[in-house]
Amino acid sequence: MGSSSVFDSDVLVVGGGPAGCSAGILTARQGCRVNILEKNPQGHHKVCGDLLGPRALYLLQALQIGWPGSECHGLPIQGIHVYDDKRLKSAARFQSAGEEHAWGMTLRRDHLDGFLLERAEEAGCTVFHGVRFKGIVERDVRGIVCVAETRQGDRFFRARMLLGADGVHSATARAAGLYQRNAKSRILAVRGYFRNVAGLRDAVELYFLPHLLPGYAWVIPLGEDLANIGLGLRADACMQGGVHLARELERFVKEHPHLSRRVQEAQSVGRPQASAIGTYGQRIRRAAPHVLLMGDAGGFADPLSGEGIFGAIQSARMAAGVVKEAFAQDNFTEGFLAGYEERCKKPFDGAYRYAAFLAGLPVRDGPWKPVVRWGLNQVEKNCLVDSQYARMVAGFFTGMMARKRIWSTRWFRRTLLG
């Protein structure tokens, strides 16, 4: 391996999604030479709900990249409609008419990723498309050398820091000895696009179906008649129940009493696609010598909703801060980089610890399971008759409202007594 065959940089980022691009932009601004490896060709469309909630929108604006930009024409979202297996149970609107800013927006993931990749290149990053990270071939105090696969053969990349943002099945995590397989901290999801769906509004539709707990189905509008329809379920529940998600999606679209009437004239756009989501866990290792994990690779998606854009960008911000300190002190040891995990606890532990607990309740067997089911029914009933309560529940789900408030006396009294 001659020196001429190696692509040198200060920071090597694996993955060109929101986490990888955000980290690339931030570290490039710090003066680092950054290479980004993206295994997919330009324009690839990753499986996603295509929803940007308030936390993600705030972080995109905080990146100071000209968000949203003329090429990111998203659909404003102002609320959530919640259904059970039969009918509408509640509707929560987050903004009153006339307010300037929407609660959220929907945007196809390929448009979002394309926008972020362009901003990364403008910040000074070099982006390699169609380059698949394979592994680490050398690692010492000077840095790390990695090998990646291209159509023209293997290429080698040398850097002081390696940032893994390559998804839940992260090759970076495997190469660094950080990969962990835990069905309790993964969500399996499938989604399809459907055109000519009737009755779409400026609201996300969530469907909580008894056989999919602790998961849910969704209808997310992308335009007047185009919708992202999908469902997700925690991996351990999926395996325990023998759930085939693609079949469940087909069944949901055809048989749900409310949705089936609205898709009678709809056409499927392409084939449904499936993916896995890496959710937050306190015991996940995210740091090794010269290596940090971000986004789904580090398990930063919301355990309750599966939303991952916020966790991707927030973890990239944390990683960029640690990278800056590592270069300043010339210290890339695991002990020093472990500060990244401590830094991530503040923005993630409070919200995601409760989210993981709530998501796991319907899975647990034993005498408490009927109590949990009864509690969920109480929540549904209260949402139906109390719009403020429905807004609070929607806030818990989306992360707009602090989830620790679920332990308040007022919440329990309102839930249990109605």
Same domain assignment for residues 199 and 311 = no
Q: How many residues does the chain have?
A: 418
Residues 250-307 pLDDT 10s: 999 999 999 999 999 999 998 999 999 988 876 789 999 999 999 999 999 988 888 8
Per-residue pLDDT of 182-219, as tens digits, reads 878 889 999 999 999 999 999 999 998 888 877 889 99
Q: What is the pLDDT of residue 268?
A: 93
> Which residue, chain included where needed, has tokens 């109390």?
386
Residues 154 and 193 in one domain: no
- The whole-model pTM stands at 0.89
Q: Facing residues of 232 across strands? A: 189, 216
Residue 70 included in any domain? no
Q: Phi then psi for 70, rounded to 5 degrees?
A: -65, -25
From 353, 385, 400, the end of a domain falls on 353
**71 part of a folded domain:** no
Same-domain status, 199 and 329: no
In a shared domain, residues 250 and 262: yes
Question: What residues does 274 pair with on adjacent strands?
Answer: 190
- Tell me whether residue 398 is in a domain: yes
Looking at the structure, do residues 166 and 270 belong to the same domain, yes or no?
no
87 shares a domain with 223: yes
Q: Which residues pair with 90 in a beta bridge?
A: 82
The CATH number for 346's domain is 3.50.50.60
Q: Which residue has the tokens 């469309």?
A: 45
274-283 in b/e burial notation, b at 16+ Cβ within 10 A? ebbbbbbbee
Task: Give Cα separations from 228 to 45, 218, 242 (angstroms).
Answer: 13, 8, 24
Residue 347 sits in the same domain as residue 294: yes
- Give how many domains the chain has, as a whole number: 3
Distant-in-sequence contacts of 325-334, Cβ < 8 A, 24+ apart: 326/160, 326/161, 327/10, 327/30, 327/32, 327/160, 327/161, 332/141, 332/143, 332/160, 332/161, 332/289, 332/290, 333/289, 334/287, 334/288, 334/289
Residue 257, preceding peptide bond in cis (omega within 30° of 0) = no
Domain that holds residue 225: 77-99+183-277
Residue ranges of E strands in 45-87: 51-52, 75-77, 79-83
pLDDT score, position 96 = 47
Residue 353 CA to residue 214 CA, distance in Å, equals 16
Q: What is the spatial distance between Cα 48 and Cα 309, in angstroms, rounded to a whole number?
A: 10
410 and 395 belong to one structural domain = yes
The residues, ordered by sequence, that sit 6+ positions from 120 with a Cβ below 8 Å of its Cβ are 16, 21, 24, 25, 28, 34, 36, 127
Same domain membership, residue 119 and residue 24: yes
Burial-class residue 96 by CB neighbours within 10 Å (0-12, 13-18, 19+).
Answer: exposed
Q: 277 by DSSP, 3-state: which?
A: strand
The owner of tokens 């071939």 is 137
Same domain? 243 vs 190:
yes
Last residue of one domain, picked from the residues 215, 242, 277: 277
- Listed residue (71, 72, 50) closest to 309, CA to CA: 50
**Would you say residue 170 lies in a domain?**
yes
The domain spanning residue 265 has which CATH number? Answer: 3.30.9.10
Residues facing residue 158 across a β-bridge: 8, 145
Helix (H, G, I), strand (E, B) or coil at 212: helix
For residue 93, tell me if it sits in a domain. Answer: yes
Asked whether residue 83 is domain-assigned, the answer is yes
Domain limit, last residue, from 254, 277, 300: 277
Cβ distance 236 to 303 under 8 Å?
no
CA distances from 171 to 1, 41, 162, 167, 186 (A): 22, 18, 12, 8, 17
285/248 same-domain check: no
- 16 and 116 part of one domain: yes
In a domain, 72, yes or no: no
Residue segments in the chain with a per-residue pLDDT below the cut of 70? 1-4, 95-102, 282, 358-392, 394-418
Domain assignment of residue 139, yes or no: yes
What does DSSP assign to residue 74?
P
